Chain A
């Protein structure tokens, strides 16, 4: 395998954090607040624990088939013809999430920045670093994400120092009761999606023994970050205002008491741009490399160019923001479907082994 595409287990963890902490963190707090008020952070912890369990099971599945990605595992489990259909569906899922990542981010940029720019121009600008890094290989993508995690840590520290939190906005704990919290878990799963990408990248990981540790750690870090962002937002805005704010993350800088504060939120959101783009980057790369592997494409650069142009054109299909928001509803179902499918694969692998033994 190409040296540029080989990564260590730690880099895999960074990649997963990049995929998880992306678009979800912008709009999930608001949705949580609408359901369970200021107790949303509890359901975020529930969702995190469930995602960690699912990630462990998926890693166990991968460890049973060493050096093989889900595409090859499907071939072993379901036979050649069924595997083609399933693999195609998996690719479609990756494409769909990458598409969602790009469009969501383009829409937010258009909302925040003045609307002199067209959707096409914004899409091309946003996707340019992703395409460049994809051409340079997986290792470059992971190294890029390293710096963003560094940046994230700095933001977290700054946030803790600067913001005057109203802790009483978060009290009493558990006021909403259990049913809304459980109802929220599917919404949370939206933001935790990203760890399932490991099934596509597993063959590229060099030290596979440590992969499980880093996948779990990545999930824990994302969980910590989500909870922190929710607590910050709920503690600053209060429950009622959080329900009405579309992108509460970008409203946070308004609370910094600086000399310059006019539209500081815009600068902040633009500085976040490379970080938030990481969701798009993670799914875009997974989809691209998956199709290269599956279809045995040799002219990689040509294919990347065609793939990118097609991707941008499809991105323009939803007519407006409302049309696009309707499409986002399927993220939850498709993500949970894929994770459910992977768990079924894990069960099936035991069953097939038993069959072989008897």
Chain B
């Protein structure tokens, strides 16, 4: 009889890419991680070990000893080791420059290649015992977008992807708010041939535009959370099917305007296009602030939210280094080939000599 091979669940199907990624993953042993990263660098990385009160070890790996950011890191770690460190997220929160900020000031990595590239750029790797991920500090906004690319990408993507990431942040935060503000106050911004169908769909809706935007936003966030709690293949299937059902139902019954549904679709895709999960979460929260200000003050409110957000990001620091500076976009040319020679940025190299 012919044997039929049955997969126990869809989860067991091995993907080709998955296997490749698996081979590059970090382990939960810090020494093994060190030996995995070392051959990827031209220079021997240095490391320092901190032991917390509960006996857990924290490894800090770095290349340049004279970095001023390193002294800041030592000062903070000396305080942290006096408390029981429960996990890498705790460490990440405690090492923040501005604790109240929603924006991530460190980056979690699971991949050897990415970790080595970050080290080669002069960043520090912070590893916690029994943790298969490591924390990279200091980061800036642009480096958060560059994390999941291969180091051999074309230069165009190295400058293009961060710019697209910023567009994605802007769309995720401000698009629904802009829609609300324009529809509620500044309707003369809408082209005349589009205003009729839009007004039609808005007139049928039982809620005001601001209310509609808030309710849709909350529904969308619940979908995000639901997908996070589902397991394996349901992770993708549940939100997709739910989104289709909800949007289709809401638009056909006239509960929400079709224009708003489209805007939210774009905003949701933009939020998911941001590679850093903590950054995505920040945009999800800021979205509500923008909607509320946009609903009260119109487009001016949205612009003020944008100005305040940029002001906040500009004032942020990661281990004392600027979070958003033109320099960080333009001077990472070593990133193009981080494993050549002693793969550090130019000025860092000079300091070392």
Contact = CB atoms under 8 A, between A and B. Distances in A.
B310 interface: yes
Contacts of B303: 270-271, 273-274
Contacts of B191: 259-260, 262
Contacts of A270: 299-300, 303
A305 interface: no
B204 interface: no
Nearest to B296: A121
Max chain A Cβ within 10 angstroms of own Cβ: one of B191, B303, B312: B303
B7 interface: no
- The secondary structure that dominates the B interface is helix
B299 A274 contact: no
Contacts of B325: 143, 146
B315 A133 contact: yes
Interface in B254-308: 297-301, 303-304, 306-308
Max chain A Cβ within 10 angstroms of own Cβ: one of B191, B298, B303, B311: B311
Contacts of B192: 262
Interface in A110-153: 113-114, 116-117, 121-122, 125-126, 128-129, 132-133, 136-137, 140, 143-144, 146-147, 150
Q: What 3 A-B pairs come out closest when comparing CB atoms?
A: A136-B315, A140-B315, A129-B307
B188 interface: yes
11 contacts: A113-B300, A114-B186, A116-B298, A117-B298, A125-B301, A132-B315, A150-B326, A262-B191, A266-B189, A266-B299, A267-B299
Interface residues of B, number: 26
Nearest to B98: A136
Given A136-B315, A266-B186, A270-B300, 12 more contacts: A113-B185, A117-B298, A125-B300, A129-B310, A129-B311, A140-B314, A140-B315, A144-B310, A147-B314, A262-B190, A263-B188, A270-B303
A121 B307 contact: no
A147 B310 contact: yes
- The secondary structure that dominates the A interface is helix
Given A122-B300, A147-B326, A274 B188 contact: no
A148 B315 CA distance: 15
Interface of B: 185-186, 188-192, 297-301, 303-304, 306-308, 310-312, 314-315, 322, 324-326
A109 interface: yes
Given A143-B324, A270-B299, A129 B304 contact: yes
B97 to A, nearest CB: 11
A262 B189 contact: yes
- Size bracket, chain A contacts: 20 to 34
B307 A273 contact: yes
A125 B304 contact: yes
Given A128-B308, A262-B190, A270-B303, A144 B297 contact: no
B297 A125 contact: yes
Given A114-B185, A125-B300, A140 B311 contact: yes
B133 to A, nearest CB: 31
Given A128-B304, A260-B191, A262-B190, A143 B299 contact: no
